[in-house]
Chains A and B, each alone.
Chain A
Amino acid sequence: MKMDGNIRVATEAKYKELYNNIKNNGAVDDFHELFFLCACIGYRRGIQTQLKKRDDRFWSRTITPREWSCFYAMILEKNAFDYEKVSDDKGVLAAIEGYANAGMDILIDEFLCDYLLPASKSSDPQLDPTCCKELPKQFVHFIFEQSESENWDS
C-alpha cells in the first residue's frame, strides 16, 4: 500500500484506440480516470477478465490517492481483508487490470456500443467522432445509473 508510482499499467491492446478516443473526445482528462471507472464497473459486477494481449497504457504515478485507496479497498474486500494481498502494489494493479478489462467490456456492451464506428465493433473498437458531442454527459449519466440505488447518508 505504498501507492507505487513506477508501475506501467496495461489495458487490453485492442482498447488502445478506444482509450485514446474517449480521452480526446473530452469524456475524461486522462487514461487513469477511464481505467478507474472501468475497474469500478468490473469490480461492482464481480467480473475480472485476464488481459489477452497486454498493452502498457499509463504510469501508475498518475493514479490519484483516492483511486489507489479504492483499488486497495477492492482487493482487501475481495481477499477477506488480508493485508498481505495489498502489500504489493504491482500485484494490486495486476488484479485491478483484470477488473478494468472486464469493466471496459461492460461499458461497451451497455453504453458505448451506440457510439462506436460500426466497422470497428468486431475488432479494435473506435468511437464515431460525429456522435461524441455529449459523451461526458453520457458517461456521468451511465455512472449515475450504476450507483443510484445507493443511499449515501446511511
Chain B
Amino acid sequence: MILLKLTVENFRQFRGKQEIQFLAPSQDDANVTVVFGENGRGKTGLFRAIVFCLFGERRLSQDGDVPYDELQLVNVSALEANPDTPVKTVVELEFSHRGSHYRLRRAILGMQDEGRIIEEEDEIRLFVTPSSGNIQQIPTIEINEVIDSILDRRVKDYFLFDGEKIERLTRASIEQRREISAGIRNLLNVDALETAIKAVGRVTRGLEKELSGASHEELSRLLKRLGDNEEEQARARKRLDELADEIRLARQEIDKTDKELDKFNEIRHLLERRKSLEQELGELEQQATEALSEMKNIVCKASALIVAPTVINVYEHIDHQKQKGEIPSEIRRDLIEKILEEKLCICGSSVCEGSDAYTHIIEWLKRTSDVSTQDAALNLWRYLSEVRNHFSDDADLVEKKLQQYGNIRSAIANINRSLENVSNQIGTSERHDATKLDDHRKKLQDNIISLEANARVTQSQLEQLQQENDRLRALLKEEKLKVGRNDELSRRSILARDAQDALNDIYSQFTREIKDMISESATLLFRELLDHEGRENLKTIIVNEDYSLQVLDRYKKPFLANISAGQRQIMSISFIAALARIAAKGSKIEIPLFMDTPFGRLSYEHRQNLINQVPTFASQWILLATDTEFRRQEAQLLKNSGKWGKFFMLRSTQDGNTEIVEQDISSALAILRDEEAYQ
C-alpha cells in the first residue's frame, strides 16, 4: 500500500477543501513526506482523517476514553457560518496497492441542533482501477473487507502510530504481550490455522462428551476432570482478558490525564518542587509538635532549676549535719531525756542539776531532734541529693530542646520562604487543578500495579492448569486405548484429539519460528538505529515465549529495565519494521510508515540514524513533526539522504482554522529554526 493523496473537506481544523499529495516511492527514489506544524495545528487531525477514511473509525488509540460524541470531525467554523445548513465533511484517500489504484471517499453530514453538533454518516465509496485501466466501484457492503485485505484494521496501529506512545510495546505488561501476540498473529495470516484448531477442539469435546456418557468409570472420571480443567482454563483466560482490558482502560485514563497535565508542563517542575516542600514542611511541623510536647514534659523538671541554689544549700546543710553526726544524732533524744529524768548516767554515776555534766547533757538535748524528724531529714537529704544530681542533665536537656526547637522553626521559616517563592511562580488555581490530576494519576498507577499482580497470578494458575491438562490427556489416551480399542467412538475421539494436538504443534512451531525471525530482523534494524553507545551495550532483541520483548546486553543478560525511553522507542520501531519485513517476506515494507511526532524523546544521534535508515526499509515514510523536534539540523540530514521529496506546512489562519501549504525543500530549510533557537 502506498498513499498517494489525502483530500480533506471541512474536516476538523481544515475548513474548505484541502489536499496533501504524498510522495510515492517511484519518484526519483525519494519516499519521505514531511508535514510540519506546531502543536494544535492538526497533524494528528490528518492522521485521524486517514484512519477515519480507511476504517470509519473516529477514535485513535491515543484518545483514551474520550466520549464518542466529543470526537467531532466536522469543521465547527463552517457550521457556525451557516447554522441552519448541514456541512458536508469529506475525506478522500487515494492509494495504490499491488498495481491497482484505489480512491476511497468517506463523508459525514454535520449539523447543529440546539447547540449540539450532530454528525451522520453520509456516504462511502471505493473505486478501484486495476492496471488494466477499467474503473470499478466496489459495492458498499464489501468495502471494509477490501480495505482489511490491504491493511488489516487490527494492525493499523503498528503503521499509523503516535511516536511517543509506541515505546509502550516494550513495557513488560500483559497488555503489551497481548498486543504483540495479536500483532504477530494478525499480520502473519494465521487466522485460518486458529479457526481450524478451534473447530477440531469443538469436535473433540463433542466426541468426548458422548464417550463419557457411554463408557467405563475411570474413563468417565478422566473426561470429567479434563472437562473441568478446560473450563477452568477458559475462565482463567477470560479473567486474563478482563484484566488486560482493565489495565488498558487505566492506561488510557493515564494518557488522558497526562494530556491534561501537559497543559501544566511549564509549571510542572515547580509543582513537583512545591509538593516536595509541602511534604518537608509537614514533616517539620510534625517534629515541632513533638518537640513542643516533649517540652511540656520538662517544664516540671526545669522549674526546679530556678530553686537550684536553695536545693543545693539545704542538701549541703543536711549533709553537713550528717557528717557531724547530728543526723542521725549519736545519742538518741529519748536516752538523754531518760538520763536527765533519772539523774543517773549510763556509767552509773549520778548527774546533779547544775553540774557540768548536767549542762553538757542539756546541750546535747538541744542539738538532737526526735526520731521521726531525723528520719524525715534523712529522706529529704536523699531526695535533694537526687534532684541536685540531675540539675546538670536537666539544664542540658532544656538547652538542647530549646536549640532543637529553634532549629526546626528556622527550617520551617526557610521552607515557607521557598514555598512562597514557588507559589508566586505558580498561579493558585493551576496548582490546585494540577495537584488533583496528579493524585488521580497516582491512583490509576497503583491500580495498574495491582491489576498486573493479579494478572501474573492468573497467568501462573493458567500455566499450572495447562500442565495438568497435558497430564490428563496422556492418561485419557491410555485409558481410551485400554477400554475401547475396538470401539468406534473411542477411536474417533482419539483421532480428533491427535488432530488437535498436531495442529497446536504446527501453530506453536510456526509462531516460534516467526518469533525467531522477527527477533533476528528486529536486532539488525535496532543496531542500525541505535547510537554508538547503545550499539556497544545492547546486542539482541528477542521476542520471548510469552510474547514480551526483551533486549540482551553484551553479556547476554536481560537489560530492558535499564534502557531509556528513547531506546525503547527505537526498539519498538525496529520490532514493527521487522514484523512488516517478515510479513512482506523479506522485501521492503509494503505499508507506509506514518509517524506522528516520533523524535520527541530521541537523542540527536538516534534521530540521525532514524532519518538515514527508515527511508531505506520503508516504502514510504510520512513524518508528522513539530517545530521542536524537526529543526534545521534534522531537515538538513533528511535532505542529504536524498529521500526527502515533499514538505507541507500546517499554518494557522485568522479564523482559527488550519491551512495546508506545500513548500519546496529549500524554503523549508529557510523556515526551520536552529537548535539554538530552542535553548
Using a CB–CB distance below 8 Å, which chain A residues touch chain B?
1-2, 26-29, 33, 36-37, 40-41, 43-44, 64-70, 72-74, 76-77, 81, 83, 86-87, 134, 136-137, 139-141, 143-144, 146-147, 150, 152-153
Interfacial residues of chain B within 275-329, with CB under 8 A of chain A in the complex:
291-293, 295-300, 302-311, 313-315, 317
A37 adjacent to B303 (CB under 8 Å): yes
A66 cross-chain contacts in B, Cβ below 8 A: 300, 304, 383, 386-387
A128 to chain B, nearest CB (A): 18
A143 touches B307 (CB 8 A): no
Q: Are B313 and A141 closer than 8 Å at their CB atoms?
A: no
Report how far A28 CA is from B295 CA in the complex, Å: 9
| Chain B interface residues (CB < 8 Å from chain A) | 291-293, 295-300, 302-311, 313-315, 317, 369, 373, 376-377, 379-380, 383-384, 386-387, 391-392, 395, 398-399, 401-402, 405
User: Once the chains bind, are A136 and B293 in contact (CB under 8 Å)?
Assistant: yes
The contact of A77 among B303, B310, B398, B402, by CB within 8 Å, is B310
Smallest CB–CB gap between B509 and chain A, Å?
Answer: 76
- Chain B nearest Cβ from A132, distance in angstroms: 11
Residues of B within 8 A of A33 (CB): 299-300, 303
B286 to chain A, nearest CB (A): 14
Closest to B320 in A: A81
**Interface contact B307-A137, CB-CB below 8 Å:** no
A136 to B68, CA, bound (A): 62
A73 and B314 within 8 A (CB)? yes
B307 engages A70 (CB within 8 Å) = yes
B31 to chain A, nearest CB (A): 72
CB distance from A36 to the nearest CB of B (A): 5
* Chain B residues touching A, majority SS: helix
State the Cβ distance, A122 to closest chain B Cβ, in Å: 27
Q: Is the CB of A140 within 8 A of B376?
A: no
Q: What residues of B have a CB within 8 angstroms of the CB of A87 in the complex?
A: 373, 376
16 A-B pairs, CB-CB below 8 angstroms?
A1-B376, A1-B379, A29-B300, A36-B303, A73-B314, A74-B310, A76-B314, A77-B314, A83-B373, A83-B377, A86-B380, A136-B292, A140-B302, A143-B305, A147-B305, A152-B308
Q: How far is the CA of A38 from the CA of B535 in the complex (A)?
A: 79
Query: Which A residues are in CB contact (< 8 Å) with B300?
Result: 28-29, 33, 36-37, 64, 66-67
Cα distance A144–B391 in the bound complex, in angstroms = 12
Q: CB < 8 Å: which of B373, B380, B392 contacts A153?
A: B392
Please tell me which one of the listed residues B291, B305, B310, B376 contacts residue A43 in the complex, with CB atoms under 8 A apart.
B310
Q: Which of B292, B313, B383, B387 contacts A134 (CB 8 A)?
A: B292
A2 to B383, CA, bound (A): 13
Contact, CB under 8 Å: B392 / A140 = no
A64 and B387 alpha carbons, distance in the complex (Å): 12
Q: Which residues of chain A come closer than 8 Å to B383, judged between CB atoms?
A: 65-66, 68-69
Whole-angstrom distance between the Cβ of A37 and the nearest chain B Cβ? 4
Residues of A within 8 A of B373 (CB): 1, 83, 87
**A26 — nearest CB in chain B belongs to which residue?**
B296
A contact residues around B295 at 8 Å (CB): 136-137, 139-140
Q: Is the CB of A143 within 8 A of B313?
A: no
Q: How far is the CA of A106 from the CA of B377 in the complex (A)?
A: 31
> What's the nearest-Cβ distance from chain A to residue B387, in Å?
6
Contact partners of A44 in chain B: CB under 8 A: 306-307, 310
In the complex, A68 Cα to B300 Cα: how many Å?
A: 12
Task: Determine whether the beta carbon of A26 is less than 8 Å from that of B303.
Answer: no
The CB with the most chain A CB atoms within 10 A, among B296, B386, B402, B405, is that of B296
Q: Is the CB of B398 within 8 A of A40?
A: no
- A70 vs B309: C-alpha distance when bound (angstroms): 11
Known: A36-B303, A81-B317. A70 touches B387 (CB 8 A): yes
Residue of A nearest to B386 (CB): A66
Q: Complex: how many Å from CA A139 to CA B298?
A: 10
Q: Bound complex: CA of A36 vs CA of B317, how far in Å? A: 23
Structural contact, A140 and B298, CB atoms closer than 8 A: yes
* A81 closest partner in B (C-beta): B317
Q: If A77-B313, A136-B292, A136-B299 touch, does A2 touch B376 (CB 8 Å cutoff)?
A: yes
In the complex, the chain A residue whose C-beta lies closest to that of B382 is A69
Query: Does the CB pair B308–A150 fall under 8 Å?
Result: yes
Question: With the chains together, A69 CA to B390 CA distance in Å?
Answer: 14
Q: In the complex the two chains form, what is the Cα distance from A134 to B303 in whole Å? A: 18
Distance between Cα atoms of A28 and B301 in the complex (Å): 11
Kindly state the separation between the CA atoms of A101 and B280 in the bound complex, as whole angstroms: 44
Contacts A43-B307, A134-B292, A144-B398 supplied; 10 other A-B pairs, CB < 8 Å: A40-B306, A68-B383, A69-B387, A73-B310, A73-B313, A74-B310, A137-B405, A139-B299, A140-B302, A144-B399
The interface residues of chain B lying within 8 Å CB-to-CB of A68 are 383
Q: How far is the CA of A141 from the CA of B292 in the complex (A)?
A: 12
A18 CB to closest chain B CB (Å) equals 15
Contact (Cβ within 8 A) B398 A140: yes
**CB of B319, distance to nearest CB on chain A (Å):** 12
CA distance A19 to B309 in the complex (A): 27
Q: Which of A27, A67, A81, A134 contacts B299 (CB 8 A)?
A: A27
Across the interface, A28 reaches (CB within 8 A) one of B299, B306, B398, namely B299
Partner of B296, one of A74, A136, A153: A136
A141 to chain B, nearest CB (A): 6
Contact of B380 with A73 in the complex, beta carbons under 8 Å: yes
